[in-house]
Amino acid sequence: MAGHAEDFDIIIAKNVNKWYGEFHALKNVSLDVKRREVVVVIGPSGSGKSTFIRTINRLEEHQSGEIVVDGIPLTHDVRNIEAIRMETGMVFQQFNLFPHLTVIQNITLAPINVRKMKKREAEERAMQLLERVGIPEQAQKYPGQLSGGQQQRVAIARALAMQPKIMLFDEPTSALDPEMIREVLEVMEELAESGMTMVVVTHEMGFARGVADRIVFMDAGEIVEIGTPEHFFTTPQHDRTKLFLEQILK
Amino acid sequence: MATDVHSPSWVNTNHPAPPQRPPASEVGVLGWLRTNLFIDIGNSILTIVTLIVLYYIVTNLVQWAIGAYWTPIWVNRKIFAVGLYPTAQLWQPALVLLMVSALFGVSAGQWGSMIRGLGFGLGVLLLALALIPIGLEAQLVMAGSLALLVVGYFIGARLPIPNKLLSIAWILSLPATLILLLGGLNFPAWGISWTFAPLVDTNLWGGLMLTMLLAVVGIALSFPIGVLLALGRRGNLPVIKYFCVGYIELIRGVPLITLLFMGMTMLPLFLPSNWGNPSQLVRAVTAITFFSAAYLAENVRGGLQAIPKGQYEAAEALGLGSFDKLRFIILPQALTKVIPAIVGQFIGLFKDTSLVSLVGLLELVAVGKAVIQQPEWLGVPGGVAKEVYVFVAFVFFIFSYGMSFVSRKLENKLGFGKR
């Protein structure tokens, strides 16, 4: 996988389809994400945006179409799935920290057991990451003792500890009190500046406008429109996009 | 400062306000009496009637207890404790008690919470037995155990003993107990015969010791089986899943006594013939283990179901394989959640072991029955059955209530800190 050009497509999704029983949740979704690119996915609830990013690391299985992550095709082969999961970090709406482990244990668990890193080294790296997300003093606490914003920052540090090439964010600020959204977005902005490839599902239009390289608008399981923030917020093309933007920017 | 409700805008310059005490009628003894016992006329009548009935029952019980004939229990205290275990070899169960006390002490110091509660209960019991003149040697053993418990506690609290080491010690303590009580190892079928004392036939084990042993061995052996059954039942492999469901429902649909009788009669059919005849104790333990495993599986399944889907997803997204996911994320949380249920099950099993008296093992209830029939008490008017059964019930109660008390405290505690 080494030696690819800078603009190599690190995520390739081609005609991805997914059904929940009879319900057609993703309809021929195709999207390529370049290395170091930040793609923000927006759309009304139920539009399939969360489902789509969850197919990228196989938390949801797609039934037809093709997904290739960092050159690894996403098939039923467990080794491929695990290889892809090692390359992609994910941050969830509900944080999903492990409540029975301390913050530092949450962060070092996967590096020690999946990457086979030495405990000392994993802990040192974890502390650096906690510095980076601004809460090194919380290392020995349990998740239940932290605020929502702090928990989400730990979740970001936990994902980064695996040294992923791609970070997936599934509505990372939707479960947060308004006072805490800012601190999480700042971490994400810093991450984007550092050159991380990011796919972000969010309702934070300020973040989309300020940080995204491209914005993807989804509705009813389909990609409706893709464009730069400039294009999106000034000259949206599709009527559905215009309606959505009107309603949320009102 | 009162809110100015008429003004269109108002700022609370007093924020944050200091908290104030609740009104006197809500707190204190009088407040409690009022809200709980005498809230209205009906409630007051109920309270008074209940108090009268309670008074009547308690005074009668106390009167009976003072006049009752407790000598048979005092005389047979050794049999109630260990059954027919040879008196000359009582140092072997004594060593077990010393070992378990030391382990409890160190674990209580290291782990705290529930083990500390149980260790405290054990300490109180040992202290009481050391002070009652049950016999100098026995008292010395109790005092020694108490000393080990206390010393172990301080060692466990001060020294950083690895959790793994302590867990392994606990796991090894079970076979060690059995070997100590037996006086060695004896498997003629495999050519193993090693003894450090005359072998003590398991049919001689009895009393509270046997009751405890059956419950502990039953839970310990059924634990891994129960966890596997629960995982199998929750898994995606149909054959394994239906086997587990079938096993669990079959066992849960049958009374323990039936399983005990089946174990007594049918177990030899399933064992290689050169293993010889398994002892009655082995047959009973097998039945109890299979019985307990089915219930444990259901308890563990409850814990597994309580783990949110997000925990699985987070573990998967980090690249953990299925085994690591279970080991590090799912099982620790699921098992912690079901500790109170497992303790409850243990208490149930502790009491259910009294059924083995029906298949010829001399546990606490069987000892009681035997004592009642002793010829010495034939002349006692009304017999000694009341005294003996009250005593046996009291022993069961002390242990069961002690454990459920500790478990309830733990349940309250689990709600905090790690939320």
**Most distant CA pair in chain A: distance in Å?**
55
- Are residues A39 and A156 in contact, defined by beta-carbon separation less than 8 angstroms? no
Confidence of residue B11 (pLDDT cuts 50, 70, 90): confident
Q: Model confidence over B256-313: pLDDT tens digits?
A: 999 999 888 888 788 777 777 788 898 999 999 999 999 999 999 999 999 999 999 9
> Could you tell me the pTM of the whole model?
0.82
**pLDDT at residue A64, rounded to an integer:** 94
Confidence of residue B98 (pLDDT cuts 50, 70, 90): very high
In this complex, which of B310, B318, B418 lies closest to A100 when CB atoms are compared? B418
Confidence of residue B408 (pLDDT cuts 50, 70, 90): confident
What one-letter code names the amino acid at B49? V
Interface contact flag, A85 B419, Cβ < 8 Å: no
In this complex, which of B313, B316, B418 lies closest to A144 when CB atoms are compared? B418
The mean-pLDDT minimum among A45-54, A178-187, B332-341 falls in B332-341
Bridge partners, residue A72, by sequence: A69
Q: State the Cα–Cα distance between residues B141 and B126, nearest whole angstrom.
A: 9
Q: State the Cα–Cα distance between residues B320 and B326, nearest whole angstrom.
A: 9
Task: Answer yes or no: is pLDDT of B366 > 90.
Answer: yes
Task: Answer yes or no: is pLDDT of B55 > 50.
Answer: yes
Contacts of B321 in chain A (CB under 8 A): 82, 114
In this complex, which of B311, B319, B324 lies closest to A86 when CB atoms are compared? B319
Please tell me which residue, A250 or A126, carries the higher pLDDT value.
A126
Q: Model confidence over B156-199: pLDDT tens digits?
A: 888 888 888 999 999 999 999 999 999 988 777 777 888 888 88
Q: Which H helix or E strand runs over B138? A: helix B136-158
Average per-residue pLDDT for chain A: 92
Contacts of A158 in chain B (CB under 8 A): 318
pLDDT, average across residues A173-179: 91
Interface contact flag, A159 B321, Cβ < 8 Å: no
Contacts of A90 in chain B (CB under 8 A): 313-314, 317
Task: Answer yes or no: is pLDDT of B419 > 60.
Answer: no
Q: Model confidence over B69-83: pLDDT tens digits?
A: 898 999 999 999 999
Which chain A residue lies closest to B334 (C-alpha atoms)? A100
pLDDT, average across residues B56-81: 91
The mean-pLDDT minimum among A148-157, B31-40, B63-72 falls in B31-40
**pLDDT at residue B341, rounded to an integer:** 87
**pLDDT at residue B216, rounded to an integer:** 92
pLDDT, average across residues B366-382: 89
Task: Answer yes or no: is pLDDT of A1 > 50.
Answer: no
State how far Cα B347 lies from the chain centre.
5
Task: Answer yes or no: is pLDDT of B416 > 50.
Answer: no
**pLDDT at residue B417, rounded to an integer:** 39
pLDDT, average across residues B376-387: 86
Q: Which two tokens stand for residue A22?
A: 């009879």
Q: State the Cα–Cα distance between residues B384 and B380, nearest whole angstrom.
A: 7
Best of A109, A115, A119, A167 to disrupt the B interface (most B CBs within 10 Å) is A109
Q: State the Cα–Cα distance between residues B336 and B341, nearest whole angstrom.
A: 10
Task: Answer yes or no: is pLDDT of A6 > 60.
Answer: no
Which chain B residue lies closest to A147 (C-alpha atoms)? B419
Best of A53, A59, A129 to disrupt the B interface (most B CBs within 10 Å) is A59
pLDDT, average across residues B33-51: 85
Share of chain B above pLDDT 90, in %: 55
Task: Answer yes or no: is pLDDT of A4 > 70.
Answer: no
**pLDDT at residue B147, rounded to an integer:** 95
Q: Model confidence over B309-362: pLDDT tens digits?
A: 999 999 999 999 999 999 999 999 998 888 888 888 999 999 999 999 888 899
Best of B113, B309, B316, B318 to disrupt the A interface (most A CBs within 10 Å) is B318
